[in-house]
Structure 1
Amino acid sequence: MSLRRIRFNTHSIVFNWLISYISVLLVPIVVSAFIYTATWHVVESEVNRANESLLRQMEQAIDGNLSGIERLSVEMALSKRLAGFIGTAKPLTDNDYYDIVSIAADLRLYQLANDYIEQIYVYYKNSDTVISTRERIDSRGLFDRIRERDDMSYEQWQTFFNKRYIQEYAPVTLRENGEAVKAVMYAKSILLDNPEQPGAVILFMIKNSKLLESISSANQTSVAVLDKDNRLIASTGIEQLPDFLAQAKFTGTNGLFYAGQAEQEVAVSYTTSEKTGWKYVSMIPAEMFDEKMKYVKKLIYISLTVSLLVGGLVTFLFLRRNYNPIHTLIRSLSTKSGITFEKGSNEYGYLQAALNNTLDEKEKAGQRLEQHRDAIRSHFLQDLLKGRIEPKVPLHELFQSHNIRLLTSEFAVLLFHIDHHGKFHASDFIEPQKVKLVHFIIMNVAEEVAGSRHQAMTTEIDGQQACIINFNEEYEAGQLNRIAEQVKSFVADHYHIHLTVAISRVHQGLGGISTAYQESLAALEYRLVKERGEIIRYEDLPGAGTVRGSNRYFYPVHMEQQLINFIKTGDYENSRAAVDEIVETNIADATLSVPLAKCLMFDLIITMLKTLDEISSSDKRDFIDMMNPVDRLTACQTINEMREQIGAVLQQVCASIQDDRKQGHNQLSQQVMAYVKEHYSSENLNITMIGEAFRLTPPYLSKQFKAQTGEALLEYISRTRIEEAKRLLADQSSPIAEIARKVGYSDINTFNRLFKKYEGITPGKYKSIL
């Protein structure tokens, strides 16, 4: 095949193949990039590991020395000689000067104990005296020697020492003998027993050179130490904190990032001390990594060049080989089918379109045939249910044409009524689609369940789903109930669809199908008396099957009068119980017909209306009209729904009657409060005493008081006594014990405990505050 026969337009499969092969060629490029990146990370990781090891050694050395200084500061803060000078004030006496000499001698000993320390100062605020190992100066002299910045004022410097308690490090400049030296200052306050007295601060000076003397950094490597506030403590190789270190790029306790410094990128490794929170930073020029990667780059470029040359040749050969059978197939198909292959089209698209066209025509023909078959079969089953059988056509031919094979001459009919559409109730389907889908599910489930042992035929008739069951020779009693229960359970578990199922009796012959349908319709109507979602058998209806009933109607005059009396008193619980008893008595044995069940419910509503007319004015009749109980009953579909509506109306009526009777019933709590305020000073005042005064039992009295006020009676008694005690405590001349007796507490400890419970402080503290 020549190269000219290959179609290189963008829609051709050749173009797609070319893109695929080029994508395969990109694999070595991606792999090479991955190898280069991985190699870079390995080199970077090794260098970072070496830097981190250096930083860890520096961290351990510095943290160990700083720990020694902090321990020394604790020892000095406990020194009686240093603490004894805190209370000294100006002017100083001879004894004071003698103490200064002794303190300076002690400081020299402390300095000798740790060669890490350059100088020790003790600043006494009360006498404005600063003592070092060599001399005594004041705070101004200390300011001239030690400060964090050259532009810092004395007032700003003094703010640092005015803190209540100091224990921190700070970078400073130490000026001694005319030289300015970078140093680190550790300040610690000496604690006092009297918090109001000015204290003292111990200052340790550590030169940066001494701090970093244990560091041995490599060539072109700079090291810096930053405190918790990102201030430069000490460094080698840099004089001031670079901008990229001052911008808070430290996101963890350790890590590595890149930043620019004087037009040169550097790799910054850092670690953080768990003890001091200081950051130890190492900075290496990034070009050191590039030098180690030059050889790797050269190998990768050679491998990429070879991959592209060989891959291009292989791509061209495979394009020619793979396109030849596709070209032959298209030429053959276009010749035999008459479908022309347009120039510039996609070969696969052409093949798929031709194949889809053939399959679509076949599927449409099958669908049209199947639609007509289902409609004819459904019409035939509806005629069977209604008894309209065409006499001109033999029945066995009709059954054969609809692929129905009868097993026996025994038939029964199940009707399914949808009480709730389950998952499809709030779905996005429009109403006709939702109904059709639910009907389809129910009929398929019924055919599957019943058809496992019998012949099942389903259809939709008058808005209901009917299932005609033709039994086999192994029919047993109770099978219809099991079939109905399985269908209900399946659709409820999988689709949350709730059904009521009506079951006819078993009849002989094809003519019995219409009789069975009428029986199932009658059973479905009895759904008003039964609960929704039940299985209703025709033979269980009053006057049918095995149940012997008399359609008795039970609502005697004495029960109606009893219900009226309960409603008049607003007793909802007994009223609801009486209604439930009447309803249960009538429907317990399933002897009440549907018309009589409706009459019973409306009689109960009439009883409520008569009661309201006897005890209420026209506004109550307007109230019952607003509730509209008759329309609410008419909208119900079952007896239980009617019973719930009657209960809801009954509850509103009883609540309205009780509201009218509650006026003036809350006077007991007011009388009890007045009694407590009058007798709070009595030690015997308690719930029992109050109950005897009002001739009520203590539990009843406590319950009524809590219900009317929302507060426990004992809590109210205690709170009243404490309020009176607060008033008496304002009189400074009265002892606390006497005040406790005046408010009814013979035990001073009990009084103190309750006073602190309600006020948060003791009576003595309260009195001192006043």
Structure 2
Amino acid sequence: MKRIIKKQLLYSLIIPYILIISVTLMGYVCLYHISMERIKENHIEINNTAVNKLIREIDYGMKDVVQLSNNIGISNEISKLASIDLPMNYQDKYDIAILSKELDKRNSYTHFIEGRYIYFKEGNFIISNRYYYVPDVIYEEFHKQEGADIKKWYQELTGYFPMGKITFIGGKLAYIITPLQEESCNIITLLNTDRLNILIQDYEKMQQANLYILNEEGEVLLGLENKNEKEQLLDMKKLQEIFKEDAANMNQEVELNNKGYFVIKKSSKESGLQYLSFISKESLTYQTKHIFILLGTMVVIFISLLLVGVVLIKKNYTSIINLIKKLEAIGFSKDNRIKEDKQVVYTEVGYIGSILDMLQKDIHNQEEIVVENIISKAINGIVERKILLDNRFIVGIIEPIVKPETEKQEKKMNEFIIYNVLSEIFKGYAKVYVITLDNMYAVVMDLGEILQEGGIEYIITQLERGKRFLEKYMQIKCTISLSNVYIGIKKLYLAYQEAKRGIEYKIVLGSERIIYCVGDNEQTENYQYSMEMEFQLINYIKSGELNKAMRTIDYLFDMNFLESSLSIDGAKCFIIDLYSTLIKVAKENKITIDLMPSELLKKLDTIDEMKKAMKAIIEKICEAVETRKKINTGNKGDAIIAYIWENYADVNLNVANIADTFGFNSSYLSRFFKEQTGENLLMYINKYRVEKVKELLIGTNLTLNEIALQSGFINSVAVIRIFKKYVGITPTEYRIINKKIG
């Protein structure tokens, strides 16, 4: 019979293990399939998002390229030069110089442009951002190093592209368009393939995918740089089938070179470009590798537990027999045992049960000792008095306002004082126990079997008396928190946590008071501090508007602590969030803040103290902002003049250029300069340049064109016009007059 019972014990452990293992294995199999599908969906969705972002970025750049080309196509210079007669006269060359300068300026508008030139069919010449050239020169400069055939390049150059097209011209990726109003020329914009390839490579690294960009004819434009695998993919007929699909946007699975891929096809309506992204299935499988590892680990763990359980069954069964023998040896009665051998196991359990009943009676007789040990463990203190298991009790926490870092003997003395004061106050009403916990004191009041007349109101009134006594005669200012009334020692820990939680509410309710049973049931953790309010506060502070910033702080505190019931956790989060905003603004203005957010909650006890600290920080930042405003206003006028003196020889120096440099609006800059100097900004630039021209006319033998380049004028014509406007005579006349005088 013992063997049968032993098997029953064995089965009682093995069967649950087998069921757990089976269910777990089935669960992990399901989890694997679900995870694979989710990872696949998420990965494809992320890739879709990334491709769309890439399309938007490229479309944005290409939109600038197309717009700039269109603007050049409708310019007056294009119309003049389209029907030019050779040889060129002075005006033609001047128009070419203007157009070259315009090209140079427009090339810097977007990082997608590597270069631009215009081919005029009738005159068979090309204008670049430097000057005009015959086609062979442009070929040598841009296309020869690409290994392009010059005849093929010339054919591409003379084509007709009224709608514009992105294609390869002379081995370089370019956007070519024939202006609608002047069909006798083509505008060729060479695209910066290095920049585009960087965008593609960033996408491929982040998404672990291969990307190609094709034009509407299926010609591969980008995505082939130094990637053997991708070139092999492009050799497959399957890729052409993918490209010829009718759907502009689609996802599908394909097999290429014995490898599985998920293909994402996107089409840009703006540029007409096609995007093909290949995601390897292997990369998705790798992401589920941890599931296999976890599954294997769990199987090993469960089998190990099963073996350990079998060993423990045998060991514990032997221990049961040994336990009974020891109990018999020390004299326990065996009268309750059933004599029949076939019930031996049940008799053993029954026998052990009867022994436990006897032990329970002994424990009940020593109840007071047991209760003292339970209290000690429950609230981390040492209880040396008595409390009944079934009595009503209430727990309080007393926290001194100035937390003393005292020795153990002094803490015991404070505990003794608090105990005697409260024992005297509640004499005949409740038994009081006081335990020291770090820098706080836990008070347990045993109210007996019934709550006497007066109840909680009487307890709070008496505690107010005790608190006043401690403050007046013992110089102990404190905050007191009370729990609800509970019954039974099992509720002691719950009551202690409730009282401890109440102490935290001094942040909201204030210190040096009695806090009774504060709960979170009707409170919210959602504080009112929107992004719009944060931006508004930051703007007020950065602009030095102290009064508006202070009103905003008052509004936020009133809205969160007066108009709504915010929980302690919500209050802490609000304080940290708001304080972090001030720290961020302070750092931007190079102002040091002593307290970090975590330290603020430790060093300041109440909301009012924290509010005052924040207002002090705001006042400090606003003072710094106002001081910096006063300094900057006086310095910027001199800085602008110094900038003009340093850069006057730059042809691009103008009001807009200076405004960008100093972060001004152009119209505001002109008004500001006029207020600071009394002169118009453009007139000041021209006058300064004229003075430099005078120096060069007298001190050098340079030609007018050379003088123009050194003094910031586009050519000699501009020098003559501006010089005569401000001096009254031409530069040549000025040089002759001054040399005669010299």
Normalising by structure 2, report the TM-score.
0.31
Give the alignment's TM-score, normalised by structure 1. 0.30
**Structure with the bigger percentage of helix:** 2
